Chains A and B, each alone.
Chain A
Amino acid sequence: MSRELFKFKGGIHPPGHKAESTGRPIHPAPLPKKLVIPLRQHIGNPARPIVDVGERVLKGQLIAAADGAISTAVHASSSGIVSAIGPARVPHISGLPDECITIETDGRDEWIAHGPLDYQAMTRADLLAHLRDMGLAGLGGAVFPSAVKLDPGAAQTCPTLIINGGECEPWITCDDMLMRTQADAILQGVAIMRHLLGSSEILIGIEDNKPEAIAAMQAATAKTDFAVETVSLPTRYPGGGAKQMIETLTGKQVPSGKLSTDIGIQVFNVGTAYALARAVHHGEPLISRLVTVTGHVLRAQNVEALIGTPFDTLIQLAGDRDGTTGVLMGGPMMGLPIPDTSVPVVKATNCILVESAELFPPPPKALPCIRCTRCADACPAELQPQELFRFAKSDDFGRAQEYHLFDCIECGCCSYVCPSHIPLVDFYRYAKSEIWARERDKRAADLARERHEFRLFRQEREKTEKAEKLAAKAQAKRAELAAAPTEAGNSGTSEADAKKALIAAALARAQAKKTETTPQNTDNLSPDTQQEIAEIETRRAKIRALARKPLESEETP
């Protein structure tokens, strides 16, 4: 393969620890007695349960439907009785319990009726709707609903399709094992993606520390009836990140705040392609996935686990050992600490990494930053982590944002290289959450101010209306007076009256003019608008502009 590759900036070379878990064949995990299936396993709205407690469900049965545009469905991973619907412990960053459907399995593992789909005969919309109901979500870790990503939208086509087999995080090997064993099925999934996205260029990026996977994929791509290129990439963390892979393969960067599809590129994980193939060619929804169980265990390996299987079950399968100091979901760079190992495997669970003091010694005490800029050299987002750290530490969130805090992908490269052992990523997470919180507070305050300003405006409007009424009255009076002289001749008192009336009339006209300049605004300000919470932002700006206008014009009569 002589494809020209590009270099993304930064990155690190942590020890891979891949061999530990690739030596054993993929093992099916045992069927647990109880499956706990969270409704929120993907990005977007949680799925809406459509079964009741006590109901018998079959393997592969839809138990919670996609809710809203960005959402996906959830299925029963095995047959059994729904025993609970409610909050349970889940592997999530917040550590809070979340809504789950619990199924007491009956051991029969009885499938619901299912079969292949003739996708080529379907319209795009039908196929996408169908896939939404298959519960597909990105299995690389981001778990974005796949049906949404497979819809090219207004562009109608997405020229470049990248299949991500990078798997750059140390210890994790589930994608590697999947490519070694299921290369053909992955390509079936790719064919469906190509069908939906109309892509002309298809690239499979695999880091060169997985020669077996590369060979397997190359052998499989030789048999396809469309052009696919398997590209071996230099191993460098986070080369398997979507943005980094795009840059390595195409030399392009995704503009800040945009999506890769805006530059005509869509990226899917190999596991997602495989799941898509299962869904279309076998009618199987996403109810299981490969999970690497590795680290401080007796038999590190990859297991095919049902969604909802407790972590414990898998750790026991791999052989738990004394001296365990913790468990992570994911790899050591971006993984999530799991304090409670009874939580279930979810669609995002690519790895269960068991820690020990030898494998993961606690970091030495942090020293002050010496501004050595090693972090900046390692940052794939091309940020200045030392400056972000300085701002985050001093709660200078404005500057932190100016220095692109929100472009930080939390890859951990900066913390990894820092000679002062500063937990930099923690500071960025803190700053981000703090900014979000303040943003929320500010929005609440804005809402209050908006209400206040609206009231001011209403008072102003009432004043104007009063003046208008007065003007109308004065007009009538003046008309009367204008008619008077011809009838009653000159009289001192009526002259003075007329003058007064004329002044009043002039004032009223001026007032009326003022309201004339903003007639459209008064229409918008019916009390109903207050209830339209969804349009809060635009309305706020409008109301504020309005509220200010009469106040300013008061000073220049």
Chain B
Amino acid sequence: MPSPFIIDRSSVTQIMAWVLAALLPGITAYVWLFGPGILVTLTLASVTALAAEAAMLKARGYPAKPFLADLSAIVTAWLLALSLPSLAPWWLIITGTLFAIVVAKHLYGGLGQNIFNPAMVGYAVLIVSFPVQMTQWAGPLELTLVEPGAVQLSLAQSAAVIFGGDLPKATLDAITMATPLDVLRTGLYQQLTVDETMTQAIFGHYGGVGFEWLAAAFLLGGLLLWALRIISWQVPLAFLAGIWLTAGFLHFFDAGRFGAPWFHLFSPSVMLCAFFIATDPVSGATTPRGKLIFGLGAGFLTIVIRTWGGFPDGVAFAILLMNLCVPLIDQYTQPRVYGEAIVKRDDGTRKEPRT
């Protein structure tokens, strides 16, 4: 065995475990604000992911144990589950997870080889194929509970909804709601201005009622990951800056047609993406400058797709598009190495040694 003969105690498992731990504040807030349905989704996605991972490892002739133990499949499952509508039907969850693990991860070569973020591939496939089912969002309890005849779904009832149990249509209508993004989109479609739309009950201080707190909980977990140096500051900061700048720019020119930057920033999908999805090392850029470009680009595209695209949210497509650009970004943002002399590189940048 050659040098070095000692290694740090860190491991992929440990990193993934921290990522899962950092999602706990968000999950707690989710349950608190929207009811326990998300727990069913998370469990179903996790079980599916592990089964799919084990099957794929076996099919590809890899040892199952070290790879299952790395927890990366669970991370993918959780990220997908947190992106899906909380009362999405069971087959939607399973289909998305299978796509994420089987196609996006293993058919691309497994851990470390996938070009695209698996969770986002799963999400994109679902939203393209099943747009209607992808709108079964549980409304924030703060609003649904005040409706006449409203009930808070128990864990079992949530499971029943997800597994296709027949809940009275009225009850289902009472507990599901369009997301703030959808409401805004519909409002604009109906020729209302942003301000007029924003008077609806679903909108809170910055984002949607409940949704903004969920976003804050994701932010909290993200800061934990940053404090532990599991993620670098470049991607989240650049992503949020990309969102804020793009949305702010549009809002500045036509506040009637474009939502305020704070509104976009404080949506759960943006915070989840900034700290947990865009920061996925495998499918993201690796150089410091590359990370900034990756984050900024993803933020920009998110707003562009949210504003002009045909889908309710742009995060997934923005990430997938930026994933495509990663090899190029990395190639052209190679940092200067120690003692590198002044050389003209083919991209025209000059590098000089620090003296």
Which residues of A are interface residues toward B (Cβ below 8 A)? Answer: 9, 12, 14-15, 170, 243, 251-258, 263, 326, 328, 330, 332-337, 355, 360, 362-365, 367-374, 376, 380-384, 386-387, 403-404, 407, 410, 412, 415-421, 423, 425-426, 429
* Complex CA distance for A429 and B340, rounded to whole angstroms: 21
Interfacial chain B residues near A170, Cβ < 8 Å: 6
Tell me whether A370 and B66 are in contact (CB under 8 A).
Answer: no
Interfacial chain A residues near B4, Cβ < 8 Å: 332-334, 412, 415-416, 425
Stretch of B87-95, B191-199, B279-287 on the interface side? B279-287
Known contacts A368-B113, A371-B286; is A337 also within 8 Å of B2 by CB?
yes
The reply on B148 being an interface residue by CB < 8 A is no
Interfacial chain B residues near A369, Cβ < 8 Å: 112
Instruction: Name the prevailing secondary structure of the B interface residues.
Output: loop
Known contacts A337-B1, A367-B70, A371-B284; is A382 also within 8 Å of B8 by CB?
no
Of A330, A371, A382, the residue contacting B112 (CB under 8 A) is: A371
- Given A255-B355, A380-B338, 8 additional A-B pairs, CB 8 A: A253-B339, A256-B337, A333-B6, A337-B2, A371-B286, A373-B232, A418-B7, A420-B12
Interfacial chain B residues near A370, Cβ < 8 Å: 12, 15, 72, 111-112, 281-282
- Chain A: which residue is nearest B12 at the CB level? A419
The reply on B3 being an interface residue by CB < 8 A is yes
Interfacial chain B residues near A429, Cβ < 8 Å: 2
Tell me whether B354 and A334 are in contact (CB under 8 A).
Answer: no
Interfacial chain A residues near B111, Cβ < 8 Å: 367-368, 370
Closest beta carbon of chain B to A241's beta carbon, Å:
11
* Complex CA distance for A421 and B72, rounded to whole angstroms: 16
Known contacts A384-B334, A404-B337; is A253 also within 8 Å of B3 by CB?
no
8 A-B pairs closest in CB distance:
A412-B4, A368-B112, A332-B5, A256-B339, A372-B281, A382-B338, A381-B338, A371-B281
Instruction: Name the prevailing secondary structure of the A interface residues.
Output: loop
Could you give, for residues 116-146 of chain B, a 1 whenever the CB lies within 8 Å of some chain A CB and a 0 otherwise? 0000000000000000000000000000000
Interfacial chain A residues near B339, Cβ < 8 Å: 243, 253-256, 258, 407
Tell me whether A253 and B7 are in contact (CB under 8 A).
Answer: no
Interfacial chain B residues near A251, Cβ < 8 Å: 354
Tell me whether A373 and B2 are in contact (CB under 8 A).
Answer: no
Tell me whether A256 and B353 are in contact (CB under 8 A).
Answer: yes
* Complex CA distance for A367 and B334, rounded to whole angstroms: 25
The reply on B152 being an interface residue by CB < 8 A is no
Residue of A243, A362, A423 with highest tally of chain B CB at under 10 A? A423
Closest beta carbon of chain A to B19's beta carbon, Å:
11
The reply on B335 being an interface residue by CB < 8 A is yes
The reply on B311 being an interface residue by CB < 8 A is no
Interfacial chain B residues near A371, Cβ < 8 Å: 112, 281-282, 284, 286
Of A253, A364, A412, A416, the residue contacting B355 (CB under 8 A) is: A253
Closest beta carbon of chain A to B53's beta carbon, Å:
14
Tell me whether A243 and B338 are in contact (CB under 8 A).
Answer: yes
The reply on B336 being an interface residue by CB < 8 A is yes
Interfacial chain A residues near B6, Cβ < 8 Å: 14-15, 170, 332-333, 360, 416
Tell me whether B286 and A386 are in contact (CB under 8 A).
Answer: yes
- Chain A: which residue is nearest B110 at the CB level? A368
Closest beta carbon of chain A to B71's beta carbon, Å:
12
- Chain A: which residue is nearest B11 at the CB level? A419
Tell me whether B5 and A335 are in contact (CB under 8 A).
Answer: yes
The reply on B14 being an interface residue by CB < 8 A is yes
Interfacial chain B residues near A423, Cβ < 8 Å: 2
- Chain A: which residue is nearest B109 at the CB level? A368
- Chain B: which residue is nearest A244 at the CB level? B338
Residue of B1, B5, B113, B353 with highest tally of chain A CB at under 10 A? B5
Closest beta carbon of chain B to A305's beta carbon, Å:
22
Sample (15) of A-B pairs whose CB atoms are under 8 Å apart: A9-B338, A256-B338, A328-B5, A332-B6, A336-B3, A367-B67, A367-B112, A369-B112, A370-B12, A376-B286, A382-B336, A384-B334, A407-B338, A415-B7, A425-B2
Closest beta carbon of chain B to A408's beta carbon, Å:
9
Interfacial chain B residues near A335, Cβ < 8 Å: 3, 5
Could you give, for residues 312-355 of chain B, a 1 whenever the CB lies within 8 Å of some chain A CB and a 0 otherwise? 00000000000000000010001111111100000000000111
* Complex CA distance for A347 and B341, rounded to whole angstroms: 33
The reply on B10 being an interface residue by CB < 8 A is yes
* Complex CA distance for A15 and B232, rounded to whole angstroms: 25
* Complex CA distance for A333 and B2, rounded to whole angstroms: 9
Tell me whether A412 and B354 are in contact (CB under 8 A).
Answer: no
Tell me whether B3 and A333 are in contact (CB under 8 A).
Answer: yes
* Complex CA distance for A425 and B2, rounded to whole angstroms: 9
Tell me whether A363 and B7 are in contact (CB under 8 A).
Answer: yes
Closest beta carbon of chain B to A154's beta carbon, Å:
20
B-side interface size class: 35 or more
Tell me whether A360 and B281 are in contact (CB under 8 A).
Answer: no
Tell me whether B8 and A417 are in contact (CB under 8 A).
Answer: yes
Interfacial chain A residues near B282, Cβ < 8 Å: 370-371
* Complex CA distance for A419 and B354, rounded to whole angstroms: 31
Closest beta carbon of chain A to B332's beta carbon, Å:
13
Interfacial chain A residues near B72, Cβ < 8 Å: 370
Tell me whether B334 and A355 are in contact (CB under 8 A).
Answer: no
Interfacial chain B residues near A255, Cβ < 8 Å: 339-341, 353, 355
* Complex CA distance for A257 and B7, rounded to whole angstroms: 30
Tell me whether B5 and A417 are in contact (CB under 8 A).
Answer: no
Interfacial chain A residues near B340, Cβ < 8 Å: 255-256, 404, 407
Interfacial chain A residues near B2, Cβ < 8 Å: 337, 423, 425-426, 429
Known contacts A333-B3, A371-B112, A372-B281; is A253 also within 8 Å of B10 by CB?
no
* Complex CA distance for A254 and B353, rounded to whole angstroms: 8
Tell me whether A367 and B66 are in contact (CB under 8 A).
Answer: yes
Interfacial chain B residues near A363, Cβ < 8 Å: 1, 7
* Complex CA distance for A15 and B6, rounded to whole angstroms: 10
Closest beta carbon of chain B to A203's beta carbon, Å:
17
Tell me whether A253 and B67 are in contact (CB under 8 A).
Answer: no
Find residues 153-171 in chain B having any chain A CB closer than 8 Å to their own CB: none
Closest beta carbon of chain B to A15's beta carbon, Å:
8
Interfacial chain B residues near A421, Cβ < 8 Å: 7, 11
Closest beta carbon of chain B to A465's beta carbon, Å:
46
- Chain B: which residue is nearest A429 at the CB level? B2
Interfacial chain B residues near A15, Cβ < 8 Å: 6
* Complex CA distance for A330 and B4, rounded to whole angstroms: 11
- Chain B: which residue is nearest A368 at the CB level? B112
Closest beta carbon of chain A to B293's beta carbon, Å:
15
Interfacial chain A residues near B336, Cβ < 8 Å: 382
* Complex CA distance for A444 and B287, rounded to whole angstroms: 39
Tell me whether B335 and A384 are in contact (CB under 8 A).
Answer: yes
Interfacial chain A residues near B112, Cβ < 8 Å: 367-371, 420
* Complex CA distance for A288 and B334, rounded to whole angstroms: 46
Residue of A372, A410, A418 with highest tally of chain B CB at under 10 A? A372
Interfacial chain B residues near A376, Cβ < 8 Å: 286-287
* Complex CA distance for A295 and B1, rounded to whole angstroms: 17
* Complex CA distance for A169 and B346, rounded to whole angstroms: 39
* Complex CA distance for A388 and B355, rounded to whole angstroms: 26
- Chain B: which residue is nearest A367 at the CB level? B12
Residue of B7, B12, B112, B330 with highest tally of chain A CB at under 10 A? B7
- Chain A: which residue is nearest B330 at the CB level? A387
Interfacial chain B residues near A254, Cβ < 8 Å: 339
Interfacial chain A residues near B1, Cβ < 8 Å: 326, 337, 362-363
Residue of B4, B337, B353 with highest tally of chain A CB at under 10 A? B4
Tell me whether A382 and B355 are in contact (CB under 8 A).
Answer: no
* Complex CA distance for A263 and B341, rounded to whole angstroms: 13
Closest beta carbon of chain B to A351's beta carbon, Å:
12
Known contacts A256-B338, A381-B337; is A373 also within 8 Å of B286 by CB?
yes
Known contacts A243-B338, A371-B282, A407-B338; is A416 also within 8 Å of B70 by CB?
no
Closest beta carbon of chain B to A59's beta carbon, Å:
34
Tell me whether B5 and A360 are in contact (CB under 8 A).
Answer: yes
* Complex CA distance for A529 and B317, rounded to whole angstroms: 66
Tell me whether A332 and B3 are in contact (CB under 8 A).
Answer: yes
* Complex CA distance for A10 and B311, rounded to whole angstroms: 43
* Complex CA distance for A377 and B337, rounded to whole angstroms: 12
